[in-house]
Chain A
Amino acid sequence: MPAPIRLRELIRTIRTARTQAEEREMIQKECAAIRSSFREEDNTYRCRNVAKLLYMHMLGYPAHFGQLECLKLIASQKFTDKRIGYLGAMLLLDERQDVHLLMTNCIKNDLNHSTQYVQGLALCTLGCMGSSEMCRDLAGEVEKLLKTSNSYLRKKAALCAVHVIRKVPELMEMFLPATKNLLSEKNHGVLHTSVVLLTEMCERSPDMLAHFRKLVPQLVRILKNLIMSGYSPEHDVSGISDPFLQVRILRLLRILGKSDDDSSEAMNDILAQVATNTETSKNVGNAILYETVLTIMDIKSESGLRVLAINILGRFLLNNDKNIRYVALTSLLKTVQTDHNAVQRHRSTIVDCLKDLDVSIKRRAMELSFALVNGNNIRGMMKELLYFLDSCDPEFKADCASGVFLAAEKYAPSKRWHIDTIMRVLTTAGSYVRDDSVPNLIQLITNSVEMHAYTVQRLYKALLDDISQQPLVQVASWCIGEYGDLLVSGQCEEEEPIQVTEDEVLDVLEGLLVSNLSTPVTRGYSLTAIMKLSTRFSSVNRIKKVVSIYGSSIDVELQQRAVEYNALFKKYDHMRPALLERMPIMEKTASNGPTEIVQTNGETEPSTVEAKHPPPVTQPTSQANDLLDLLGGNDVVPVIQTTIPTKPASAGGELLDLLGDLSLSGGPAPAPAPSVPTSQPPFLLDGLTSQPLFNDIAAAGIPSMTAYNKNGLKIDFTFERANPNPNIAVITIHASNSTEAEMTDFVFQAAVPKTFQLQLLSPSSNVVPALNQGTVTQVIRVLNPQKQQLRMRIKLTYTHKGSAVQDLAEVNNFPPQSWQ
């Protein structure tokens, strides 16, 4: 057999390949040759062949068939073979390979070899890819080498020990005796690796941490010697003596000094010395300063020292080197909570970083700027941030917009400013804001009564300028619908009032209905606004016409709305003014308000349009009863009879149900479930949007389960996923009763861990018929934003054969598809 071509020859040949296909062909040919050579157990060229294989592996070609050959090379007596063999092992074998068993023996032999370079190779391989079994088997050898006087082996053994501890933490104790003299070593390699080993041990065990605290003075001395000693060519990096070792010692000091007064005290001086004496013209000096700052911030350091540290970061911010600026912003972000005022002093520099060209820096600067906003600087900061929002890349807009909303909500100096700010965000970054910003802004506007005229004018003007930003258009339509009378009356003290006629306003709204830019949601908003204007404007006929036109719209949602409004005009005109009255002020619930709103809007279309219906809630009961009758006769809307046992029988509550029915085909009543206050518009919306739940679309692939089966009462869960928001699992419970007596006053309650949110809709009945003659169904919606495993505790109360029964149960066996 002729000698195979040399490695360099192969590399040269492969590099001549002009196409991928050509290269693949060459490699396949060579691989075939290598395979046959392997088969022939050719010892002379095995090393060369494996080396070639490693090159092909780097190009992305499969080379696993060389794994065993690597082991043969390792077992060879030749150093060249061993060198390539170990290299191949590190590249081709990963932790899960069975060949490791074979390798353990080879490494063991080589760790006891007479040549330090062979021992070094074995240590290096073990420290790079040793599996936990290997580490267990070879830890003894490593420990022995850690105690030798040979510094070449000692440093490698120390890092190997680090790897062993990472893999098998229980073996840590074994290395404890060997650590005793490590720090008295003069060789920097050994010192450096020892500090790494000590760091690893301290981080993994509190006992070790306590044990090694006594080393602080020694570490301080080593560090002092490093910064005080004159120029030593061997370890010098642009004027700094062994920065690698310095950084490592500083890091170990940080861990040792964390929440320990004595150790922190012992290192204060040296930290101050490093912080003031380090040469900062080069990156390497800044690397040390950076590590020093992190240590100062983490230990219990003196306040003077902390200010010094923050000022170092402040200087970093002015550095020409982008890397340094980035590091400064990252660390300021970490310390802004604890040392707020010190960071605040660098505010203007931080804000300047918003204009940086580098996205990494911009992002950090933005986060830090938001962290620095407070009641005193809100106007100035927000001006900068809004300017940033205007000019920044699209990837920043969403985060920046929600940051502005949060800050504005927290620190707004006045309502007018707040509204202006949000409107500004909506005009500049409208398509990037979160879904909940529309209802949030609407709520804010309704609550500031004195601002209504001003707001509606501003929004109207904004609409004239641009109708492409959907959230803004939605808010504007809503406001025009609500406060159209204020708009045309032109009474607004704060700004130059604009003169608009009713027709102009209607033109704009109708424009929205036909515009290609409008989403279906926006159209819904605008149709409802037009409808509302029928009681605020005099041009009712025009409105009637528009409404009747959309009665035949192909958009079902819009059509339904129009048909309903049409019915209002035709059959129940006497109720129209009351129904379309101005919205009451919405109170934001502190506990669950915001999240609920988020959820609502995740549900999309119907909810947002329905928002205009709640007014009748405030109507007197008599009218509500009228409405009840009226709806009974309305055959457009099939009314589903629902009983809500847990709900107080108040007129308002029933009305809520009716509205649910009125506005959506056959939806179940909104849920005045125990945890849900009835007067909350957002919840009302929730109930309405649950319409698809009854469509009986069995959730594709989510199997149902039995959650409870006791005393003849059986409860099954079926699942479906709410389409617009995959984080919401919709569970329908089916309760059936196999006993001969019916169960009355049946109430099902459920609780979930805090990371979830749960909403119980109303049950179909409170009586579970006997002998499985029917079931009670009830819908549970679970918001699971973190996609955690679903767990639920359920409570059942009912009356059976005259006696009250109560039972608790835990449901843990949800199918994974229901929450993943």
Chain B
Amino acid sequence: MVYGGSEAAHLFRRKFSALFMMQFMLLFSRQGKLRLQKWYVPLSDKEKKKITRELVQTVLARKPKMCSFLEWRDLKIVYKRYASLYFCCAIEDQDNELITLEIIHRYVELLDKYFGSVCELDIIFNFEKAYFILDEFLLGGEAQETSKKNVLKAIEQADLLQENIDFQMRLFAGRQRCRDPSQRAGGNWTHINTFSIIVILLIITL
């Protein structure tokens, strides 16, 4: 065993135990209601709840003029408020706080593009979509894609795949249902167009 086995390697690892990685991300409202939680470290449900409660309290208590960083336990908390929602990330001591702010901002931009001027209600009613977008942007606490376009493209195509298969299922089952009202009329014109084309095509072939 060359790597990781020797004692020197072990010491080395301990010395650099502080790795750069986002530990978790929380979205919560001004009233302290949790809107989204993504944990990249394994913790028990109880612990997660405790941390969430503590952080929500601490962040909400801060005045708007204060800086976006907070030292908490041995982590750094980077948070930013967008309208009524707080986006809050926990990073390691060695990590770059300023770029974390950019990551938060990028996620907000992605939500905004996807929902079309996003608001808290969009995230409440379509929380699963908010998760899908986050998972297409971050993986294991690291950004996996630096291009906005690529993230949105991937989400749209996955959405399409979902609708497509659902549609076929429903068609073959013989009980066509109207679309899920969750889809906002404004935000998804492209989907609707593609969707209707597929509908037409399928009807023709049948």
Contact = CB atoms under 8 A, between A and B. Distances in A.
29 contacts: A6-B181, A11-B124, A54-B128, A58-B37, A64-B45, A83-B158, A94-B43, A117-B154, A156-B139, A160-B140, A162-B140, A163-B140, A169-B4, A172-B4, A173-B3, A188-B145, A189-B146, A193-B139, A199-B20, A203-B19, A207-B2, A235-B147, A244-B103, A284-B102, A287-B101, A322-B67, A323-B67, A358-B66, A360-B66
A16 interface: no
B118 to A, nearest CB: 16
Contacts of B148: 234
B149 to A, nearest CB: 6
B147 A287 contact: no
A235 B146 contact: yes
Interface string B118-152: 00000011011001100110011011111111100
A434 interface: no
- Interface residue tally on B, bucketed by range: 35 or more
B23 to A, nearest CB: 12
Contacts of A90: 38, 135
A159 B132 contact: no
Contacts of A58: 34-37, 127
Contacts of B73: none
A11 B66 CA distance: 34
Contacts of A64: 45
Contacts of B8: 206
Nearest to A169: B4
A155 B151 CA distance: 12
A192 B182 contact: no
A324 interface: yes
A245 B132 CA distance: 23
B13 interface: yes
Contacts of A173: 2-3
Contacts, number: 208
Interface stretch (B81-89, B159-167, B194-202): B159-167
Nearest to B2: A207
B190 interface: no
B122 to A, nearest CB: 12
Interface string A323-338: 1111100000000000
Nearest to A152: B154
B74 interface: no
B102 A237 contact: yes
Given A87-B132, A193-B142, A287 B127 contact: no
A92 B184 CA distance: 28
A770 to B, nearest CB: 51
Contact of A207 (B3, B101, B103, B181): B3
Contacts of B96: 247, 251, 287, 290-291, 294
Contacts of A237: 102, 106
A53 to B, nearest CB: 12
Interface string A114-131: 010100100110011101
A316 to B, nearest CB: 10
A162 B142 contact: yes
Contacts of B103: 244
Contacts of B139: 123-124, 127-128, 156, 159-160, 193
Interface string A2-21: 00001110011001000000
Contacts of A323: 67-69, 97-98, 101
Contacts of A361: 67
Interface of A: 6-8, 11-12, 15, 51, 54-55, 58-60, 64, 78-80, 83-84, 87, 90-91, 94-96, 115, 117, 120, 123-124, 127-129, 131, 152, 155-156, 158-160, 162-163, 166, 169-170, 172-173, 188-189, 192-193, 196, 199-200, 203-208, 234-235, 237, 242-245, 247, 251, 283-284, 286-288, 290-291, 294, 322-327, 357-361
Contacts of B5: 170
Interface in B29-71: 34-38, 40, 42-45, 49, 65-71
Given A58-B34, A247-B99, A361-B67, 4 more contacts: A79-B165, A192-B145, A235-B146, A324-B98
A120 B132 CA distance: 11
Given A117-B161, A203-B16, A156 B40 contact: no
B9 interface: yes
A80 B166 contact: yes
B140 A6 contact: no
Contacts of A325: 67
Given A189-B146, A234-B147, A291-B99, A84 B128 contact: yes
Given A84-B128, A117-B157, A128-B40, A327 B3 contact: no
Contacts of A322: 65-68
A287 B98 contact: yes
B85 to A, nearest CB: 14
Contact of B19 (A84, A166, A283): A166
A60 B49 contact: yes
B12 interface: yes
Contact of B4 (A12, A94, A205): A205
B7 to A, nearest CB: 11
Given A79-B162, A287-B101, A206 B132 contact: no
A156 B181 CA distance: 32
B154 A120 contact: yes
Interface string B181-192: 110000000000
Given A117-B157, A156-B139, A83 B162 contact: yes
A285 to B, nearest CB: 9
A287 B165 contact: no
A11 B123 CA distance: 11
A170 B146 contact: no
Contact of B1 (A55, A170, A247): A170
A412 B59 CA distance: 41
Contacts of B140: 127-128, 159-160, 162-163
A59 B34 CA distance: 7
Nearest to A251: B20
B67 A244 contact: no
Nearest to A242: B146
Nearest to A55: B127
Contacts of B9: 204-207
A8 B37 contact: no
